[in-house]
């Protein structure tokens, strides 16, 4: 490959005039250790504490190891090479066992590995994939992927440290998010009566007396939504489109709406049937979503959290395509406070935690967007690299 003068838009002070960047094939930068990989069928794995890695990370734990060093794994096959819901490049350190669904690369410099891990996760590799039904990144194509690198090792380290500090922030905020979710789960167990009990363990001041034993039919009115053709569901939202909810939650956006207001929705078909969404405003509920409206003096917010607590997926029927019917759901038993004021107190408490969770999740998303933007500045453009 020829190497013209390639530099990113943003460089750390002191490196502007030291050395340019270079574009190299990945095979020239790292040593490939694929010949050391060994797959083990699940039935042959001896359980242990050593992580067993596949194309997208840890899939099991085994007793023995075949690697005891720091390496970079890159997915060799699987739909994730296109979908990118998980990283396709991930570092592994210490004792590990890696199967033949992930390429294994060793680098001379830790900073080089860190840079290329971030770079490979930020670009599309479609032009290097083979196979349609099962995308594959074979060894030959892996080796020729062009990658940009500063010639100066200290500059590599500066960039790696910068990106690592952002990753640490994301990790810390993610841990806080998980803590909030765990707290909410525990709080729900306290605010609703346990199995066999008629009052919750945690109760707000001023409320007493047993909760009423009833069922979903008595407290709500449920109805399946309206069919909409898949061709009329759009991926992106604009001012003239409305959220469209199906059996697994948000499906996309439509030009029509079936409901207006606040409604809990129950997904009624698919592997995730029983999932609960709170829709607000104008929206389209498809035939695979059940809208729920409270009867009499019952709080809609309390009803939403009650539906979450009931774990409705357990009532699904059918193997190939699990489903829930209104008739089945109406018979689901529950306990409720007799006063709408207590219902609302419970809902407000949980809603305040949900607000914290939403804010925390947004912080994480903002950090990821900041890193993505920073990556575009710290590396030469992908077009320059691929055209080289």
Please provide the average confidence, as pLDDT, over all residues in the chain.
93
Structural domains in the chain plus CATH codes: 1-20+151-205+338-387 (1.10.287.1120), 22-150 (3.90.220.20), 212-336 (3.90.220.20)
Q: What is the pLDDT of residue 2?
A: 44
Instruction: Render the burial of 299-330: b for 16+ CB within 10 Å, e for the rest.
Output: bbbbbbbbbbbbebeebbeeeeebbbebeebe
Which pLDDT score is estimated for 388?
Answer: 60
Query: Which range (206-210, 301-305, 333-337, 381-385) has the least confidence?
Result: 381-385
- The yes-or-no verdict on residue 18 having pLDDT over 80 is no
Lowest mean pLDDT among 5-9, 38-42, 206-210, 269-273: 5-9
pLDDT grade for 56, boundaries at 50, 70 and 90: very high
The pLDDT of residue 103 is above 80: yes
- Which one, of 311, 312, 247, 322, lies nearest residue 285 by Cα? 247
pLDDT band at 6 (very low <50, low <70, confident <90, very high): confident
Tell me the pTM: 0.84
Return phi, psi of residue 323, to 5°.
-150, 165
pLDDT of 1 > 80? The answer is no
């Amino acid at each position: 490959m020829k190497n013209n003068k390639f530099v990113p838009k943003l460089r750390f002070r002191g490196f502007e005039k030291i050395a340019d960047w270079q574009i190299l094939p990945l095979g020239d930068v790292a040593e490939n250790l694929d010949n050391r990989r060994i797959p083990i069928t699940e039935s042959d794995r001896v359980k242990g504490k050593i992580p067993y890695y596949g194309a997208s990370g840890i899939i099991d734990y085994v007793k023995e190891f075949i690697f005891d060093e720091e390496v970079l794994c890159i997915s060799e096959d699987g739909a994730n090479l296109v979908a990118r819901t998980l990283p396709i490049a991930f570092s592994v350190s210490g004792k590990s066992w890696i199967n033949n669904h992930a390429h294994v690369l060793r680098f001379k410099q830790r900073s080089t590995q860190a840079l290329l891990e971030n770079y490979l996760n930020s670009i599309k590799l479609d032009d290097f994939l083979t196979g349609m039904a099962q995308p594959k990144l074979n060894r030959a194509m892996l080796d020729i992927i062009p990658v940009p690198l500063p010639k100066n090792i200290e500059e590599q380290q500066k960039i790696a440290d910068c990106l690592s500090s952002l990753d640490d922030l994301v990790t810390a905020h993610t841990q806080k998010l998980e803590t909030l979710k765990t707290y909410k789960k525990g709080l729900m167990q306290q605010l609703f009566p346990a199995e066999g009990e008629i009052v919750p363990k945690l109760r707000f001041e001023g409320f007493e007396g047993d909760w009423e034993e009833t069922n979903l039919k008595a407290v709500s009115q449920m109805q399946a939504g309206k069919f909409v053709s898949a061709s009329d569901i759009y991926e992106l939202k604009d001012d003239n489109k409305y959220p469209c909810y199906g059996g697994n939650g948000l499906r996309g956006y439509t030009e029509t709406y079936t409901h207006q207001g606040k409604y809990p929705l129950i997904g009624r078909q698919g592997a995730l049937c029983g999932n609960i969404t709170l829709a607000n405003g104008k929206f389209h509920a498809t035939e695979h979503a059940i809208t729920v409206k409270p009867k009499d003096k019952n709080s809609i917010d309390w009803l939403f959290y009650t539906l979450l607590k009931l774990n409705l997926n357990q009532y699904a029927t059918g193997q190939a395509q699990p489903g829930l019917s209104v008739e089945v759901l109406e018979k689901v038993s529950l306990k409720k406070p007799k006063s709408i004021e207590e219902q609302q107190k419970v809902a407000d408490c949980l809603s305040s935690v949900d607000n914290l969770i939403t804010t925390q999740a947004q912080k994480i998303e903002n950090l990821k967007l900041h890193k993505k933007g920073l990556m575009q500045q710290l590396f030469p453009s992908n077009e320059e690299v691929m055209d080289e």
